[in-house]
Structure 1
Amino acid sequence: MEMETPQIGSCSKEVQKIYKECSSWLIQIWAIADSKRQGYLGFKEFICCMQLVSLVQDGHEISHDILLKGDVDFENIKPPKMEGLDELIEKKKDPSNSSKTDTDGDSLKPASITFQWFSSKPSQTNCDFDAKPMVMLLGAHIGPEPTTDRFVVIMSGTDERSVPGNTIAVQADMPFTGLNTFGTAFLSKFECSQMPHPLLEHITLVDTPGVLSGEKQRTQRAYDFTGVTSWFAAKCDIILLLFDPHKLDISDEFKRVIYSLRGHDDKIRVIFNKADQVDTQQLMRLYGALMWSLGKVLNTPEVVRVYIGSFNNKPVNEDFTCPIGKELFEKEQGDLLSDLKDIPKKACDRRINEFVKRARAAKIHAYIVSHLKNEMPAFFGKASTQQRLTDNLEEEFVKICPLA
């Protein structure tokens, strides 16, 4: 969906009037939705645009930081009203159609457009059930330049090799075919590394690019980073959010990534890494600052589990002055490893649970479609009945609840 400047002179006076009245906030909505400045909207950006239109119609003030605030429940926003657009389109197709009444069963005006907020969950195939459990690592862009700029899936293999993303995304026996929807710009930044290792026989690791912060956020990625992260989040069994004591701020891009993880809260684990590089007093303050920042972003009353330590193969920094530092780090590392070891055991239950949830959703959808079909008349009054049903869907859902 590309944005083109309308040729106002070629439009009717009615359309010109509507355009002039709406152009100011439409331009603002486009600027917010097209945050990557690509000049077109992808699927998620289009949904965001429609949600912002709905907010404007309800009288809300919108600004560039509305997506970062937790004041608006975007999941429960009603679709925007577009009856005027429907009438203009219908008149343009058939001007004489506006004089036809509801009694003409063969030519009825369509009801107002009702947008369906599709879930971003990727489809499940047989290879998803056969695949090993996945662990995704997310963190800020920290470390000596250049750091990794691509998604890397680390899997078990007979020998060490790297497979390009375009190749791995078309293999039917791999659970990554759904990534083709993100285009070649993403696939060029995606690869699979295979190597023989006992750990990889049980789990698969997903290493993500560093989340941008500061001035680097102004450099737009060529693909939907948040969308890809959300896709992997639905596939993964554990999501590790990595924080560094020298960079605790949560950037705008990191906030968008964390927001995209909603619905997978039970998978999230927070790791406060390199904690041996600060002293005891600094560690206490940094831990409090981290919990405060996470509380604002996650927006949940429960405290998220945070593992503190220095998670590498090097010994703990001897300059760390905390008398219980080494013992604390060893216990935290043991808890994290125990959590990771339980992944293969819980993976089967998680996939069955996900399959059951989708089956229930399909069953409820079938009940809704069947009920609405039964409410429709056989011959006359289809348009008015369709309009009444779509305007009062909540009441119709209440009627279906005893069946579901």
Structure 2
Amino acid sequence: GKSPVRVCQMCFIAKQKEEEKRRAFEQMGDTVTQNQINAFLSEADLEIKQANQEVMDSLLRIYKAKVKPLEQRYRFDYYYSSLNDGDFEPRPIVLLLGQYSVGKTTFIRSLLERDFQGIRIGPEPTTDGFHAITYGPTDRAIPGNAAAVDVNRQFVGLAGFGANFLSRFQVAEVPSPLLDSLTIVDTPGVLSGEKQRLDRGYDFEAVVRWFVERADRILLLFDAHKLDISDEFKRVIMTLKGNDDKVRVVLNKADQVETQQLMRVYGALMWSLGKVFDTPEVCRVYMGSFWDKPIDPRGERFKDLFIKEKEDLIEDLKGLQRHCAIRKVNEMVKRTRLVRAHATMCDDFKQQLPVFGKGGAQKKIAQNISKHLDILVKKQCLSIGDFPQHKQIEGFLSTYKLEEFKDLNQRYIEIINIALSRDIPRMLDTIQKKQQEHDAQDIQDFGNNNPFDEFATPDSVTWVVDAASKQKYDNVFYSLSPQGNPPKVSGGAARPVLLQSGLPVEALRDIWGLVTSEGSVDQDEFALMMFLIQSARQNGVQSLPKELPLAYIPPSKRQQQLQPINDVLSGGSSSSGDMYQPGAQYQQPQGQAPSAPDEGGSGNLYPNPHQ
């Protein structure tokens, strides 16, 4: 008989990962699906994510077909590691760097407004490994070895740093709204003083460089009480060369210094950074107190400034998703030009080698690399900025023998030039058109707000839940198997889906109380609840109304208990009890707290934690 077919081990692992993802979405309840999770995203957000994914798919095809073959032919991985499918994930990466005890982990907790798996906070170095905090339907931790073999993640390339590093790497999945659009990477505190002599067990600077290459935003955190830059921190900052546009500086704990001292601290920070970066331009600096505690009395004078700085920083991070595709394309253009210049250099230097004594001749080229590059730039009409740094080239020439490389086929260069001149510009045009359509829709939506709605009747006021969103929410509603006539969903059935929003339980309890005082919701009430959750995710919990305005009340509910305003405006008699009051249908009796369903469909869905 025929021998049994052997299944590739990597295919088997990939299949296992897909099953794990499927089971993860089912952990919060059998009815929780990816479509239900996407229901918390606006149509504009979903369109941007879809457009970015299409661009990343096209970019991946260009890389594999036109750029990667030349990288492999001339060992470009000496400078930069090869890209994997996960590197073309459209979700931006935010990298945090700083010396120990400057508040990196606390900073992340303040952004997420919650803890995450593996969090440790203290005055001494507590984060002894790298933590990638990304979105997931439930709180869970994935060890580094498992994350490094998942081809659907961005961390496959980390396997090259060995088991010692992977044992200190972890992925934490958190159902947080902010993580819908980005991934945050927390790094070990950079050591100073005698601690710099400790052996981490892996190449710390090489790992940082790997993340720097892939990060969309790099945040350097400083403590207002210790601005000294240790030798290791200086070496880490040097790995940022060529990525200066990604860097932002956060001056943390700025509320714990006096006014005059704060000005001196800010000046000292600028002076220190100027020496390390060695650039005439100074990167953006955010000052404030980035944790969940109140502003220190010493910084009360600048409270408004600190709040505004934090808001600006969060807006900067949220904007990364919108421009993610353009940045990825820009990084690919830089990489492609580097690959072209590197391949041309290798072939040109190889042609200069004599028949005998190739090793000695190659060594002389490395010793006079500046002179040879100047000649090459003029001969091939290249830019000196397209080449790696001179020290990197010297290291490359001392590692590999040029005579072992094959001659450069000009067809490779032609393919690269086509990618740079035709393929990538087409993608940029597509991105620009999508962006213009999105901006035009924003303007249209803004113009739909009628300033005279306060004089409108219940029938004439447009419901805040538009038709497209209503259809999306209805699909989620019916996936929860509503019961009765009219169909209603119990609190126990709705709870797993609502928790997927990542909002605090207290906020979900308030939203439930705004919409209904019962233990179940019908189709329109469920849609309104989803709309309020989406609004809270985008604009903050503080944006929720205390009572529902007329535009928020579903049209099916307005005429059940309300007398039309037209009777009042026309002079008809109406008692105050009959007159329409915004949110009257949902107001609770005096002194009575709203009840909400528990798992079984009765009682309080989100009990008061203080009771």
TM-score (norm 1): 0.64
The Cα offsets for residues 269-294 of structure 1, whole Å up to 9 and x where unpaired, read as 00001111111011111111111111
1:255 is aligned to 2:242: no
Secondary structure class of the residue paired with 2:94: strand
In the TM superposition, 1:147-226 aligns within 5 A as 147-226=126-205
1:140 is aligned to 2:99: yes
User: Which one of the candidate residues 379, 397, 417 is aligned to 1:399?
Assistant: 379
The Cα offsets for residues 282-341 of structure 1, whole Å up to 9 and x where unpaired, read as 11111111111111111111112111111223332234353xx01211221122122112
Q: Which residue of 2 aligns with 1:348?
A: 325
In 1: Cα distance, 2:229 partner to 2:76 partner: 28
Secondary structure class of the residue paired with 1:159: coil
Secondary structure class of the residue paired with 1:154: strand
Change (3 A) 1:363 1:311: same
In 1: Cα distance, 2:141 partner to 2:258 partner: 41
Give the gaps of 5 or more residues in structure 1. 1-114
C-alpha root-mean-square deviation of aligned residues, in Å? Answer: 2.9
Q: Which residue of 2 aligns with 1:124?
A: 83
Secondary structure class of the residue paired with 2:323: helix
Higher mean C-alpha displacement, 130-139 vs 392-401: 392-401
In 2: Cα distance, 1:256 partner to 1:268 partner: 15
The Cα offsets for residues 227-269 of structure 1, whole Å up to 9 and x where unpaired, read as 1111101111001111111221111111111011111111110
Seq. identity, %: 50
Q: Which residue of 2 aligns with 1:89?
A: none
Q: Which residue of 2 aligns with 1:277?
A: 256
Q: What is the Cα deviation at residue 156 of structure 1?
A: 0.9
Change (3 A) 1:396 1:229: closer
1:308 is aligned to 2:278: no
In 2: Cα distance, 1:288 partner to 1:124 partner: 40
TM-score (norm 2): 0.43
Q: Which residue of 2 aligns with 1:327?
A: 304
Q: What is the Cα deviation at residue 368 of structure 1?
A: 4.7
Give the gaps of 5 or more residues in structure 2. 1-73, 102-121, 383-412, 418-611
Change (3 A) 1:254 1:371: closer
Q: Which residue of 1 aligns with 2:276?
A: 297
- Greater fraction helix: 2
Q: Which residue of 1 aligns with 2:245?
A: 266
1:245 is aligned to 2:224: yes
Secondary structure class of the residue paired with 1:342: helix
Q: What is the Cα deviation at residue 180 of structure 1?
A: 1.5
Equivalent pairs, count: 284
Contact 2:81 2:157 in 1 (8 A): yes
Q: Which residue of 2 aligns with 1:63?
A: none
In 2: Cα distance, 1:128 partner to 1:363 partner: 21
Q: Which residue of 1 aligns with 2:316?
A: 339
Q: What is the Cα deviation at residue 130 of structure 1?
A: 2.1
Change (3 A) 1:307 1:251: same
Amino acid at match of 2:317: L
Mark the structure with the bigger radius of gyration: 2
Q: What is the Cα deviation at residue 163 of structure 1?
A: 0.8
Amino acid at match of 1:128: D
Change (3 A) 1:201 1:383: same
Secondary structure class of the residue paired with 2:229: coil
Contact 2:100 2:124 in 1 (8 A): no
Q: What is the Cα deviation at residue 209 of structure 1?
A: 0.7
Q: What is the Cα deviation at residue 372 of structure 1?
A: 6.5
In 2: Cα distance, 1:396 partner to 1:384 partner: 22
In 2: Cα distance, 1:144 partner to 1:284 partner: 25
Contact 2:83 2:157 in 1 (8 A): no
In 1: Cα distance, 2:125 partner to 2:257 partner: 25
Change (3 A) 1:383 1:400: farther
In 2: Cα distance, 1:319 partner to 1:372 partner: 63
